[in-house]
Structure 1
Amino acid sequence: MAQLAELRAREAEVKKARAEFWPKLSVKATSATSIGATSTPDRPAGKTMRPTTWSAVPC
């Protein structure tokens, strides 16, 4: 049992070291979908859609 506890402790140290090595990212999502009707003298009214935008920035 003691060997298993020691192994788990070492694995936890490795996991912590790996987490500290990689850069940390923060993800922020903003919905930018817009549906509306547009028209011009040359074109009849139609629906327009804009895609949803996403971004990720370093912490």
Structure 2
Amino acid sequence: MESEWTAESVQRITTENTTLKQRVRQLTTDNRTLDERLKAARPNIRFQDRRIADLEARLADPESAT
């Protein structure tokens, strides 16, 4: 089968394969980075949700806040 391919075709496919492997590595790294950011953001959101709920409760019943 390889004998039917020209050296130029083999080189082109090899180069494309290398490029695709590099792209997969980059996307994997990007995905890992975004996943870490998401994991860090979740506790921040939970904290903000609790803070908002507390402020809403204070606004709803200012007497109990003092």
With the shorter chain as reference, the TM-score category is 0.3 to 0.5
Structure number with greater CO (CA < 8 Å, separation at least 6) is 1
TM-score where L is the length of structure 1: 0.40
Higher strand share: 1
